[in-house]
Structure 1
Amino acid sequence: MLEKEKINFEKTVIVGIITQNQSEEKLKEYLDELDFLTFTAGGEVVKRFSQKLDKPNPKTFLGTGKMEEISYYIKDNGISTVIFDDELSPSQQKNISKILDCKVLDRTNLILDIFAQRAETSYARTQVELAQCIYLLPRLSGMWTHLERQKGGIGLRGPGETEIETDRRIVRDRISLLKDKIKTIDKQQSIQRSNRGAMVRVALVGYTNVGKSTLMNAIGKSDVFVENKLFATLDTTVRKVVIKNLPFLLSDTVGFIRKLPTQLVDSFKSTLDEVREADLLLHVVDISHPDFEDHIESVNKILLDIKSADKPTIMVFNKIDAYRHLTIDADDLITEKTTKHYTLEEWKNTWMSNVGADNALFISATQKENFEEFRKKVYEAVREIHITRFPYNKFLYPDFEDAIEKEDE
């Protein structure tokens, strides 16, 4: 089965630039992630290209020499797709496509394609299509390459322009229709959320592929789709969970990513309403990933964008079993110890100092390691919110009836 899938993979190369704001090390991290995104979309990265520039070339993103180098490589090696790590302007995409004579995508386009593949429900498909249409609209002129030979021809200027404008109008109408459709579904989901009553709501948030769905399955005994690929989950799943005798609602949300396209943030705003309306956030982190602190920063930035950064949050550092398996040669001479050489205990001390011992957990969702501690901490946090909402809950207070009588007096 795996062999069959590999045959169908598109041969691709990925491209990025080193600038004053993006070092060579940082570019490597981004290209590693772009490589994983490409694999998730069904591509096989056979080579990476990079160039050091003060700023991207406004016409072709890269310099002339580098473009020629890539052009020769893709012709000699039968490459079908070139993917750029940064979003290309419509004119850049058009110019690069002419030079390379193959399919040219940018990071945004790639992420949109993965979302389109992963969307299962009608709502998710509508949101993805809206994001794709918004992305496509300014790029339509570059797609009508078959009309270029008509430019300058007497009596032939009109039809080309009309055809492009007609297409733009169709896309604008489609955007309007999709927005109306999303508004209708939003109203329905808002009613559904209001029907849940005053139960405490807990939302799992975090970078993509950190184990949120695995954790959801482990806590809620649910069956949420799990796969070691980016954006395995697009649709928000909500489950009723009971720890001890305390019920609450737990939601699994779409994963975040660095350089998340603004089109997706806009179209998935209603999916993120589960985060906005949550009483408690469980920020899940893959501690075995070398860039997990960057991931935390990216998630916090998006939480700030959707006005959810000030919510009570527990940092859940997942995959401690994988972190232990990371091998560091003890005999290597390390001139200066950095965070890349921290032990798990050092990370615990660091983060428990940063966010407080009550707001940091270290677990393995797959191995159920430290799971009792996790359940206890979540229970205590939910209970604290529950008490303020239901001061005389008989499940929390054995002397519930006595408390009511005292209140009456």
Structure 2
Amino acid sequence: MKKTIVVQRNDPDTDAATNSRKLAELKELAHAADYVVVGTFVQSIYPNRKYQIGPGKVDDLAGLVESLDAEKVIFNNQLSMTQIYNISETCKCEVMDRFQLILEIFAARATTRRAKLQVELAKLRYEHPKARSIVSLQKKDERQGFMGLGSYEDSYEQDIKKKIVRIRTELLQHGNGSESLRSFRHERGFSLVALAGYTNAGKSTLFQSLVEEETVVKDMLFTTLSPTTRSLMVNNRKMLLTDTVGFIEDLPHLMVDAFKSTLDEIFLADIILLVVDMSDPVDIIRQKLAVSHDIFGERADGVVIVTALNKADLLSDEELQEKMEVISDLAPAPVMISARSGEGLDELKRVLYENLPEWEHCRISVPMSEEGISMVSWLYDEGIVHTIEYGDAIRMEIEARDEIIQKVKPFAMYS
């Protein structure tokens, strides 16, 4: 794991709390990419064209890099190719910005062909306007691997354009696959609930509280390669609850499609449980809700979204009511909860249960035989047995998904 220093330049007139939150998120992003953050460097100044931060501060940063034996510097601010080159020359180590860090994480997390294509497209679209600068800097300093981009000829810009066209064509041929995903979800025969929301919203804590299990859940961004899934039983209905992905603030526009392609597990769900941190400022809550719904987009069409307003216990009734009024259009009929204390979780389970795909009721009569007993056991596993009577035959009132009901229809007394 590479030792890294994270850097953030703040505009002098920006909000301190917002700056602090963004810096904390950058550290989490670095952690998600398997870097060890050994130092933090912050300066409040308007951007410097050559270095992003002040020229004198670059020398201080270089000293920090040397003293901490850091191998990489990651800026929260977007850097030009020239700035990256100049900073790397002074600090004598690799330099990247937040966009490149996210790109690196997505490249590692992408598992489907579509996701990999979207990541590659984002990378090319990022490089295209900078192509001439990259080639110029390559000629200026021919260190192999500068920017991790390798050696390029003057045709680099044209090569990028051709690759962009090729990838876009292939993506159009692939389609978004939402219909096949939805079919797959129904064929699996059980109800799926996917947890979604921004990092630090309390998603992992809620997961642990709902499944009542001391499961080690990674509080890390973009962990879609190894989502954690546990079973949850509510009113005899079995659900699979999956803790999926933590969204991030200010996702670069070029990365939106690539990010959506990492969310296939969410779109397999019957219900998306969207967790919101109510302790955030109300304008941030609105922004996060709006972006979340935008991310779900058309691919979540037909999927129920249940909004859980977490950390409600940290607010007074008056504060809660004021925020509720402001976000009511983005969070209709939300459930107020505290994942940590357990407040509101019974109500949340009730809402989840009410939004599960409806199952069919049926009364059946099966023979009192080894085959009949085997069917009873199977129905207990696959559905809900409301009543059962043993006599010359076994009479049952069951509730199950359509696929199961169709299989027992020959034994139906009445539906």
TM-score category, normalised to shorter length: 0.5 to 0.7
Identify the residue that residue 106 of structure 1 maps to in structure 2.
Answer: 97
TM-score, normalised relative to structure 2: 0.64
Q: What letter matches 1:362 in structure 2?
A: I
Q: Are residues 179 and 235 of structure 1, via their aligned partners in 2, closer, same or farther at CA, if it must alter by over 3 Å? A: farther
Identify the residue that residue 3 of structure 2 maps to in structure 1.
Answer: 10
Q: Are residues 246 and 73 of structure 1, via their aligned partners in 2, closer, same or farther at CA, if it must alter by over 3 Å? A: closer
Q: What letter matches 1:105 in structure 2?
A: M
CA distance in 2, matches of 1:209, 1:181: 36
Identify the residue that residue 377 of structure 1 maps to in structure 2.
Answer: 351
Q: Are residues 125 and 36 of structure 1, via their aligned partners in 2, closer, same or farther at CA, if it must alter by over 3 Å? A: same
Q: What letter matches 1:316 in structure 2?
A: A
Shift of 1:303: 3.7
Corresponding residue to 1:190 among 175, 179, 190? 179
Instruction: Work out whether 1:297 is the aligned partner of 2:262.
Output: no
Counterpart secondary structure, 2:48: coil
Counterpart secondary structure, 1:56: coil
> Which runs of 5 or more structure 2 residues have no equivalent in the other structure?
143-150, 363-396, 398-415
> Which runs of 5 or more structure 1 residues have no equivalent in the other structure?
1-7, 151-161, 324-341, 399-409
Identify the residue that residue 33 of structure 1 maps to in structure 2.
Answer: 25
Counterpart secondary structure, 1:164: coil
Corresponding residue to 1:71 among 57, 62, 67? 62
Identify the residue that residue 43 of structure 1 maps to in structure 2.
Answer: 35
Instruction: Work out whether 1:124 is the aligned partner of 2:99.
Output: no
TM-score, normalised relative to structure 1: 0.64
Shift of 1:231: 1.5
Residue deviations 1:274-326, cap 9 Å, x none?
Answer: 87998965321356xx6475763342231464585999754314478xx8xxx
User: Which stretch of the first structure deviates more once superposed, 266-275 or 203-212?
Assistant: 266-275
Counterpart secondary structure, 2:219: coil
| 8 Å CA contact 2:277, 2:311 repeated in 1 | yes
How many residues align? The count is: 348
Q: Are residues 114 and 292 of structure 1, via their aligned partners in 2, closer, same or farther at CA, if it must alter by over 3 Å? A: farther
CA distance in 1, matches of 2:204, 2:161: 36
CA distance in 2, matches of 1:269, 1:142: 30
Instruction: Work out whether 1:227 is the aligned partner of 2:202.
Output: no
Larger of the two Rg values belongs to structure: 2
CA distance in 2, matches of 1:241, 1:176: 45
Counterpart secondary structure, 1:227: coil
Q: What letter matches 1:361 in structure 2?
A: M
Shift of 1:41: 1.9
CA distance in 1, matches of 2:32, 2:206: 21
Q: What letter matches 1:315 in structure 2?
A: T
Residue deviations 1:146-190, cap 9 Å, x none?
Answer: 42279xxxxxxxxxxx95333334444443443344444435443
1:145-160 to structure 2, matched below 5 A, reads 145-148=137-140
CA distance in 2, matches of 1:46, 1:37: 14
Identify the residue that residue 61 of structure 1 maps to in structure 2.
Answer: 52
| 8 Å CA contact 1:363, 1:374 repeated in 2 | no
Instruction: Work out whether 1:359 is the aligned partner of 2:351.
Output: no
Q: Are residues 240 and 39 of structure 1, via their aligned partners in 2, closer, same or farther at CA, if it must alter by over 3 Å? A: closer
Shift of 1:111: 1.6
Corresponding residue to 2:15 among 7, 23, 28? 23
Corresponding residue to 2:77 among 86, 96, 104? 86
Q: What letter matches 1:371 in structure 2?
A: L
CA distance in 2, matches of 1:218, 1:125: 34
